[in-house]
Chains A and B, each alone.
Chain A
Amino acid sequence: MIGEPATPSGPFAHTANTVQRTMFMVLLALTPATLFNLYLFGWPAILLFAVTVGACVVAEAACLVLAGKPVSATLSDGSAILTGWLLAMTLPPWAPWWIGVLGAMFAIPLAKHAFGGLGQNLFNPAMVARVALLVSFPVVMTAWVAPHPLFTTGSPTLNEAMTITFAGETPDGVTAATALGYVKTELSRGIPVSESLQEYGRSSALTYAPDLMDLATGFKPGSLGETSAGLILLGGIFLLWRRVITWHIPVMMIGTLFVMGTLFNAFDPTRFAPGFFHILSGSAILGAFFIATDYVTSPVTQKGQLVFGFGVGLLTWVIRTFAGYPEGMAFAVLLMNSLTPIIDQYTRPRMFGRTRKGEPLPVEGQR
């Protein structure tokens, strides 16, 4: 067995990058979209966000104590905060507190530490939690609310928010459907997608036209952090610019989703939603830049990342279109997570001086 070098070994120069810095960059990139959505959904969302992140950090600390690992050093890597943050962003904004706490229990002890902690988990912890919650509590997990921006009439005060979050008493008349959910329900009633797309918005609590612009800016019902495709994209571009992530997964995932949507929409607009609708609604952009790109659970090779991104995009479209759930990103990510080891194995780069099969290259032109 080999451990740390006994005598200091080279190289005697290292990048300034650290795991902690990487996590911090991701949190920074999430901040604009998060702040916007906390504003959009008001105090209940702020409380749920705090509960979820807090529960993840407490769960992480407890797991580290139980595993006999250094607590403060590991906590400061920021990975538990990030997991909690991402999980919170995929929850219905006015969900009760125990959704956040239970989610943290799924994400941290079950999906992360049962596998051996940071870097060892096969599945994305936040998505494990989201899917476990969704299949266990389908009603609570699909109770969307219309936007209630802070400091506007109708936005709950802090006191009212306490009742919503901690007593689970959602006031009447605030619920609304997400675009994806609405289209799906209407389609099951026999109303063509093209028509329900026009109708959506007029039927929700706020009266606004459901055009692509609104989907992009984020003034719409949806999960706690996913509604503003524009701000999430901004964060994603920041991560690309800072080289925290590479383009492979996001471009392939969004591209695949768009192409599938556009192709099938052209084929039958009454049954299939258009490409732009797909990429701008639900958690497509959030998933593409922040969830599918999770280092631990995605392939390490760039070719593998292309395959992975393609798979997530395709499965998201398939689940959204044919399955019972309106949104399929989380399922798609988990399914592709399970394929990550095998994708890595089959997409290894060609070794220098060797063929794809690993045989030495033939010596050409030598006499």
Chain B
Amino acid sequence: MKLFPIRGGIHPQYRKELTGDCAIEALPLPNRLYIPLQQHIGVPAEVLVSEGDLVSKGQVIARRQGPVSVNQHAPTSGRVAAVTEIPAPHPSGLPQPTIVIEPDGADTWGTLAEPITDPFAVDAQTIEARVAECGIVGMGGAGFPSAVKLNLGIRHRIETLLINGAECEPYLTCDDRVMREHADEVIDGARIMAHALHAPKIVVAIEENKPQALAIMTAAAQAHTNMEVVAVPAKYPMGSERHLTLAITGRETPARKLTADLGVVVHNVATARAVHHAVRHGRPLVARVVTVSGQAMRTPKNVEAPIGATVSDLIAFCGGFAQRPERLVQGGPMMGALLPGTDVPVVKSTSGILALTAEEINDRPADPCVRCGSCVAICACGLVPVEIAAHVRHDDLEGAARLGLMDCVSCGSCSWVCPSHIPLVHYFNYAKGALNAQERERRKSERTKTLVEARAARVERIAAQRAANLARKPKAAVGAEEVGA
């Protein structure tokens, strides 16, 4: 297949060899599981259980609220120990409503949804409903409810389902292992999704630094004529939805549009596997593969962990720390976030837990910018980070926006490449947050203005009407009023 070049990009130290050959190991059931009501982009789910309730594995314990929300299920059988607030797996560590489950050790499945034996005979709505019911979110890290993305076939004509096995983040090998160990499930899930999207073609894109996954997936895809497995260059941020779409189709997603507008929908390989489980077996998303890695980790592994296991459970399973980590990160090192501690749970979008040494991170105090232009050369979005940063530093957010701030995908390549170690992407995230807040504020005041104007108009109308009524009143009444006055 002919590939199309993407602009810029970087070649960080991948360090995938730490876990690339580690087969997926199941985490023994921890003593407690912590299931946050929000593990996704959108509205939190609503609790259905209360303290003391007995739950079986796969039972819905929190119901989704609206379309952009997902169900949460009990990852194992046991007792609801509490419905409380614990720190979220977010750098802020702010408390978040969470259901705590004490496993009974039996790990027995409850009544599951009926398996769909021939998914290709049912309509798109059935599959989408099943995916929604089973609480599936994008497992590449974004955590966007997958059912919403399967809906795109309704309003758009989808030509290609792009299965994202690029895994361009350093360290992470969970997708690699899923493809190597569960290729058939991934491919079946992909075919089901393509059916739901009415997409005639499926392309599985895998970075060329995963030769085994490429070979296994190619072999597994052979039976399906509408499916192609493609090796894409190992270059960060190849796995970015828009950039992968460009590399495969040669078409560039217009700003402020979706890849679906080009007829392409992108789903992660682990998501495809989750869809296979949901549709073929009626099993909800209750576990995921997490890469536990970093040079501060004693035995890096790929762990299949129930949702809600704590980071400390996974670290203990990997033999603890070999040395004190400088930073604990969830996700990959490029776009991942700092973990507020080890007591936070693994959620549906947790792709990695990294215990990194100072030497691996190699951060240092920022030097002045020497205008070397590296950030301009590597920006996959065609931006000029050095200039945008200058505007942000002078609090000129509009100026930064004019230079394309809001088109930045926060991939972090500019921060990585900067010889002066200027935290460029930190500037951009700050500025985006500030601009979004300004926008919300502006909308709010506009809304207030419309309401005030509407009220003034209403008051005026009522007054006018009253005056008109008064004028139409019979003479006598007026006279009476005069008398009364």
Residue positions of A touching B, CB distance < 8 A: 1-2, 4-5, 7-19, 21-22, 77, 79, 117-120, 246, 295-302, 305, 344, 348-354, 358, 360-367
Contact of A13 among B170, B382, B425 (CB under 8 A): B170
In the complex, chain B residues whose CB is within 8 Å of the CB of A10: 329, 333-338, 412, 415, 425-426
Residue positions of B touching A, CB distance < 8 A: 7, 12-13, 91, 156-157, 170, 242-243, 251-257, 261-263, 327, 329, 333-338, 354, 356, 360-373, 376-377, 379-384, 386-387, 392-393, 395, 402-404, 407, 412, 415-421, 423, 425-427, 429-431
Contact of A352 among B354, B367, B376, B382 (CB under 8 A): B382
In the complex, chain A residues whose CB is within 8 Å of the CB of B242: 352-353
Contacting pair A300 B254 (CB below 8 A): no
Contact of B419 among A1, A15, A118, A296 (CB under 8 A): A15
Contact of A351 among B91, B255, B362, B373 (CB under 8 A): B255
In the complex, chain B residues whose CB is within 8 Å of the CB of A301: 373, 376, 384
Given A12-B336, A22-B419, are A351 and B381 also a contact pair (CB < 8 Å)?
A: yes
Contacting pair B338 A15 (CB below 8 A): no
Q: How far is the CA of A71 from the CA of B279 in the complex (A)?
A: 66
Contacting pair A354 B379 (CB below 8 A): no
Contacting pair A360 B257 (CB below 8 A): yes
In the complex, chain A residues whose CB is within 8 Å of the CB of B431: 2
The listed residue with most A CB atoms (<10 A of its CB), out of B252, B263, B376, is B376
Contacting pair A8 B416 (CB below 8 A): no
Contacting pair A18 B426 (CB below 8 A): no
Contacting pair A2 B370 (CB below 8 A): no
The listed residue with most B CB atoms (<10 A of its CB), out of A21, A120, A352, is A352
* Smallest CB separation, A279 vs chain B (Å): 25
Q: How far is the CA of A352 from the CA of B383 in the complex (A)?
A: 8
Contacting pair A13 B360 (CB below 8 A): yes
In the complex, chain B residues whose CB is within 8 Å of the CB of A363: 254, 257, 261-262
Contacting pair A11 B419 (CB below 8 A): no
Contacting pair A14 B415 (CB below 8 A): yes
Contacting pair A8 B327 (CB below 8 A): yes
Smallest CB-CB separation from B170: which chain A residue? A13
Contact of B384 among A15, A300, A358 (CB under 8 A): A300
Contacting pair A9 B426 (CB below 8 A): yes
**13 cross-chain CB contacts under 8 A:** A7-B338, A9-B426, A10-B334, A12-B327, A15-B12, A17-B417, A295-B370, A301-B384, A348-B387, A353-B256, A354-B404, A360-B255, A360-B257
* Smallest CB separation, A272 vs chain B (Å): 35
Contacting pair A353 B407 (CB below 8 A): yes
Contacting pair B419 A351 (CB below 8 A): no
In the complex, chain B residues whose CB is within 8 Å of the CB of A18: 364, 367, 419-421
* Smallest CB separation, A296 vs chain B (Å): 5
A-B contacts counted at CB < 8 A amount to: 190
Contacting pair B420 A361 (CB below 8 A): no
In the complex, chain A residues whose CB is within 8 Å of the CB of B251: 364
In the complex, chain B residues whose CB is within 8 Å of the CB of A2: 392-393, 395, 427, 430-431
Q: How far is the CA of A63 from the CA of B208 in the complex (A)?
A: 51
Q: How far is the CA of A115 from the CA of B410 in the complex (A)?
A: 32
The listed residue with most A CB atoms (<10 A of its CB), out of B156, B367, B368, B379, is B368
Contact of A353 among B157, B255, B371, B419 (CB under 8 A): B255
Given A348-B384, A361-B252, are A13 and B373 also a contact pair (CB < 8 Å)?
A: no
In the complex, chain A residues whose CB is within 8 Å of the CB of B421: 14, 18
Smallest CB-CB separation from A345: which chain B residue? B387
In the complex, chain A residues whose CB is within 8 Å of the CB of B335: 10-11
Smallest CB-CB separation from B243: which chain A residue? A352
Contacting pair A295 B371 (CB below 8 A): yes
Given A7-B91, A19-B419, are A13 and B13 also a contact pair (CB < 8 Å)?
A: yes
Contact of A302 among B13, B156, B377, B393 (CB under 8 A): B377
Smallest CB-CB separation from A117: which chain B residue? B368
In the complex, chain B residues whose CB is within 8 Å of the CB of A13: 12-13, 170, 333-334, 360-362, 416
* Smallest CB separation, A356 vs chain B (Å): 10
Given A11-B416, A12-B329, are A5 and B423 also a contact pair (CB < 8 Å)?
A: yes
In the complex, chain A residues whose CB is within 8 Å of the CB of B329: 10, 12
* Smallest CB separation, B252 vs chain A (Å): 6
Q: How far is the CA of A5 from the CA of B416 in the complex (A)?
A: 15
Contacting pair B373 A12 (CB below 8 A): no
In the complex, chain A residues whose CB is within 8 Å of the CB of B156: 366
Q: How far is the CA of A361 from the CA of B251 in the complex (A)?
A: 11
Smallest CB-CB separation from B258: which chain A residue? A363
Q: How far is the CA of A62 from the CA of B463 in the complex (A)?
A: 78
Contact of A8 among B157, B338, B362, B383 (CB under 8 A): B338
Contact of A14 among B157, B363, B365 (CB under 8 A): B363
In the complex, chain B residues whose CB is within 8 Å of the CB of A7: 91, 338
Contacting pair B382 A358 (CB below 8 A): no
In the complex, chain B residues whose CB is within 8 Å of the CB of A79: 370
Smallest CB-CB separation from B8: which chain A residue? A349
In the complex, chain B residues whose CB is within 8 Å of the CB of A22: 370, 372, 419
Contacting pair B356 A12 (CB below 8 A): yes
Contacts A295-B370, A353-B255, A360-B255 aside, 14 further interface pairs with beta carbons under 8 A come to A9-B338, A12-B333, A79-B370, A118-B368, A119-B369, A119-B371, A246-B377, A301-B384, A349-B383, A351-B382, A353-B254, A354-B407, A358-B404, A366-B156
Q: How far is the CA of A119 from the CA of B371 in the complex (A)?
A: 7
* Smallest CB separation, A290 vs chain B (Å): 15
Contacting pair B377 A11 (CB below 8 A): no
In the complex, chain B residues whose CB is within 8 Å of the CB of A299: 373
Contacting pair A16 B407 (CB below 8 A): no
In the complex, chain A residues whose CB is within 8 Å of the CB of B404: 351, 354, 358
* Smallest CB separation, A365 vs chain B (Å): 8
Contacting pair B361 A14 (CB below 8 A): yes
Contacting pair B252 A352 (CB below 8 A): yes
Q: How far is the CA of A22 from the CA of B335 in the complex (A)?
A: 27
Contacting pair A349 B379 (CB below 8 A): yes
> Top 9 A-B pairs ranked by shortest CB distance?
A300-B373, A11-B412, A361-B254, A353-B255, A360-B255, A12-B333, A119-B368, A349-B382, A13-B333
Smallest CB-CB separation from B381: which chain A residue? A352
Contacting pair A350 B382 (CB below 8 A): yes
In the complex, chain A residues whose CB is within 8 Å of the CB of B338: 7-10
Smallest CB-CB separation from A69: which chain B residue? B368
In the complex, chain B residues whose CB is within 8 Å of the CB of A360: 254-257
In the complex, chain B residues whose CB is within 8 Å of the CB of A365: 263
In the complex, chain B residues whose CB is within 8 Å of the CB of A246: 377
Q: How far is the CA of A166 from the CA of B40 in the complex (A)?
A: 75
In the complex, chain A residues whose CB is within 8 Å of the CB of B257: 353, 360, 363
The listed residue with most A CB atoms (<10 A of its CB), out of B256, B361, B384, is B384
Q: How far is the CA of A7 from the CA of B93 in the complex (A)?
A: 12
Smallest CB-CB separation from A79: which chain B residue? B370
In the complex, chain A residues whose CB is within 8 Å of the CB of B334: 10-13
Given A9-B429, A12-B356, A300-B384, are A351 and B407 also a contact pair (CB < 8 Å)?
A: yes
In the complex, chain A residues whose CB is within 8 Å of the CB of B384: 300-301, 344, 348-349
* Smallest CB separation, A291 vs chain B (Å): 15
* Smallest CB separation, A108 vs chain B (Å): 15
In the complex, chain B residues whose CB is within 8 Å of the CB of A366: 156-157, 261-263
Contacting pair A300 B336 (CB below 8 A): no
Contacting pair A354 B255 (CB below 8 A): yes
Q: How far is the CA of A349 from the CA of B242 in the complex (A)?
A: 18
Q: How far is the CA of A4 from the CA of B393 in the complex (A)?
A: 11
In the complex, chain B residues whose CB is within 8 Å of the CB of A119: 368-371, 420
